[in-house]
Structure 1
């Protein structure tokens, strides 16, 4: 198998996914305002688009993972990328919000990129090398986050729809690239059952969570997702309120953190996990994450905030290590099924948590306690770390 081209394609895919998101997210308010011709309606439609995308991803991700076990990783990944490109193109040419909603729902239903990428990497990398591979995926994610808003801002000065055309072109070009360079990592197994029960996201997730070791790792993943989404949903608002920073400085802090995280995951995660092992590295990353979140809750000076941000970068070793550990706890013929269920857990958190956290953060501002949500995130991160620390490191569930 041509692993080098395959790994390159997967990293390019993750980078372009995040680059496309970074291109369009800063421009979305302007596009929706132009489409709806009403600022209030634009805000409501923005929230609806995000919720529908997350809901459809939750509903369909377990099925996509199952399909990748049954029919192979390659076709599922290429179809998912094609749907994403069509979604961005629809954003560029859509005459009204209902068209945007339709195609954004389609993109959510086809959002199997990370499910299949994680399963593919488990197929083609030895267990001891997976943490490094997942670290590289995290680095590609971070670099896309840095590059996207910058390029999107430049394109927006030409035309508000141009960033969406650029995102569509990049996604569809990547499909063509993958068609020629991406080999199949694992031939599909047509004996893998495909039933209504296995396609039901609640049933698929419940099956994973009921397994002794895998279930504990899944609950740890859920707690970590809640902590991560709490941080992501309120970070920029917290910086603006607590330190009175403008958008330029907030953007610089976000970009610096993402770039530092990408470099760390690309260069340091593999050696660290090789030395500590998946479990100890995951627990160490969890402890650092708890410290970063808890410290942020009480940060009142910029230097302390930057120090805690550096601790958070070091904590990213935990995510790659935990993902590697999860992949080792799963049989080769069910990697897609389990990764799909885990993506469903991620999607559920990404759909529900921002709404709840936004409400909680607004309440905390009225009570002069803006760091309260970060303290709550630290509690969930601590729960995740405790689950990891008390789970036996077995090769199979």
Structure 2
């Protein structure tokens, strides 16, 4: 099925496939989280310290591949269509998981992780697909659907990976491979093309490389401002995977089970927000106000995480408030994509993913070092929540920038003479 996408049932089927694609991508990534470190420990003959160093190298390499190849895949989708890139990425991811399941040495496993970073960049193409087929006034809800897929994948993936890994550390890779290949086969029959030939643009390396893609964002100051807000938001988000487990263990004495339950609760709350609340809230308040509200809730949520005096308040107030931060991303994507022509949506989403790669490279060091500094015995002020307070400040700065950028847009619209003036 390669005809351009129509409205009605075909569009709903295509959007369902995109949801499933992103869900399976995140589910597969989540499944290998509990087992990849154990595989590395096995390759290192039980040397946990050396395995931890290698795991850091693996994570950095994955983020670097996201940075380099997201604009490439985005530009390819602008030239050849979204369908081909998404399906080929699914096939590539499936074959890559087979490689990692079979890998006899650390070198082969590292090669597989490199390929995983490249193929995972297809998520940016899925975002471009949403922008293609969704009217601008409903686009935030479409991106909320992607956020819901992320939430479900991150809730189910690590738990399922832990269960399968208890049987065999390589079994999660085989299951992930099967899911990715089955998804590609399913998409071959149900996924139509979203970008018609007349809206495509030639592939140029000047815009496909990450530096060129990011530099092109300067052409539109308003989009550049919104992208900067998006970057600050994602940099703040890195505080959660970087120090959440360390903080919870240090502050409240939580074990793996307690951390897992908290993360599952957080994922479920995020699913409710992005899957059920984004559409009616955006419809009532508009994308600009929804974006602002999301940033405020994120800053308040981080503050509760940092200062909550008890686990009950941390979970009972912090997790629900933090989930409301989920209003930001769909509204932000809706605002940005409405200002990008259809022929450049893929390249734009690739540039955004490159920025996420930069945040992924910067964030862990920033927040882990802040945490280490704040809990050092010689400090006069002992504040283990300092990384979360730092993230809250980043969100408040993003809020101020977003207010300025979007206000200028509103004022321009209000003061521009109409066609009869």
Q: TM-score range by the shorter chain?
A: over 0.9
Instruction: Assess, with a 3 A threshold, how the Cα gap between structure 1 residues 206 and 267 changes in structure 2: closer, same or farther.
Output: same
Instruction: Assess, with a 3 A threshold, how the Cα gap between structure 1 residues 191 and 139 changes in structure 2: closer, same or farther.
Output: closer
Instruction: Assess, with a 3 A threshold, how the Cα gap between structure 1 residues 360 and 392 changes in structure 2: closer, same or farther.
Output: closer
Instruction: Assess, with a 3 A threshold, how the Cα gap between structure 1 residues 183 and 191 changes in structure 2: closer, same or farther.
Output: closer
Aligned to 1:56: 65
Aligned to 2:161: 152
Report the structure number with the largest CA radius of gyration: 2
Which moves more between the two structures, 202-211 or 321-330? 202-211
> What's the C-alpha RMSD, in Å, of the aligned pairs?
1.8
Aligned-pair distance for 1:190? 8.8
Distance in 2 between the 1:270 and 1:190 partners? Answer: 28
Aligned-pair distance for 1:170? 0.7
Aligned to 1:99: 108
CA contact (8 A) 1:68 1:336 kept: yes
Distance in 2 between the 1:163 and 1:85 partners? Answer: 12
Structure 1 gap segments, 5+ residues each: none
Structure 2 gap segments, 5+ residues each: 1-5, 414-421
Aligned to 2:35: 27
Distance in 2 between the 1:146 and 1:280 partners? Answer: 29
Asked if 1:373 corresponds to 2:379, the answer is: no
Asked if 1:311 corresponds to 2:327, the answer is: no
Aligned to 1:47: 56
Instruction: Assess, with a 3 A threshold, how the Cα gap between structure 1 residues 83 and 281 changes in structure 2: closer, same or farther.
Output: same
Q: 1:201 aligns with which of 192, 210, 229?
A: 210
Residues 16-71 of structure 1 show CA distances to partners (whole Å, capped at 9, x for unaligned) of 11111221101111111122323222112111111111111101111211111111
CA contact (8 A) 1:62 1:341 kept: yes
TM-score normalized by the length of structure 1 = 0.96
CA contact (8 A) 1:209 1:218 kept: no
Aligned-pair distance for 1:276? 0.6
TM-score normalized by the length of structure 2 = 0.90
Describe how 1:110-129 pairs up with structure 2 within 5 A: 110-129=119-138
CA contact (8 A) 1:286 1:315 kept: yes
Residues 292-339 of structure 1 show CA distances to partners (whole Å, capped at 9, x for unaligned) of 112322222123212021111112111111111111111111111111
Which moves more between the two structures, 138-147 or 352-361? 352-361
Aligned to 2:418: none
Aligned-pair distance for 1:188? 4.4
Aligned-pair distance for 1:112? 2.4
Aligned to 1:5: 13
Describe how 1:122-201 pairs up with structure 2 within 5 A: 122-188=131-197, 192-201=201-210
Aligned to 1:320: 330
Distance in 2 between the 1:94 and 1:7 partners? Answer: 35
Distance in 2 between the 1:169 and 1:127 partners? Answer: 35
Asked if 1:387 corresponds to 2:401, the answer is: yes
Instruction: Assess, with a 3 A threshold, how the Cα gap between structure 1 residues 22 and 71 changes in structure 2: closer, same or farther.
Output: same
**Residue-pair matches, total:** 397
Aligned-pair distance for 1:191? 6.7
Residues 344-395 of structure 1 show CA distances to partners (whole Å, capped at 9, x for unaligned) of 1011111221133222222222143211111111111111111211123759
Asked if 1:343 corresponds to 2:343, the answer is: no
Instruction: Assess, with a 3 A threshold, how the Cα gap between structure 1 residues 235 and 131 changes in structure 2: closer, same or farther.
Output: same
CA contact (8 A) 1:116 1:339 kept: yes
Distance in 1 between the 2:111 and 2:36 partners? Answer: 16
Instruction: Assess, with a 3 A threshold, how the Cα gap between structure 1 residues 189 and 361 changes in structure 2: closer, same or farther.
Output: farther
CA contact (8 A) 2:66 2:354 kept: yes
Residues 187-221 of structure 1 show CA distances to partners (whole Å, capped at 9, x for unaligned) of 34697243332122112112114421100001001
Aligned to 2:24: 16
SS across alignment from 1:177:
helix
Aligned to 1:298: 307
Aligned-pair distance for 1:110? 2.8
Residues 249-296 of structure 1 show CA distances to partners (whole Å, capped at 9, x for unaligned) of 111011011011102211111000011101110011111111111232
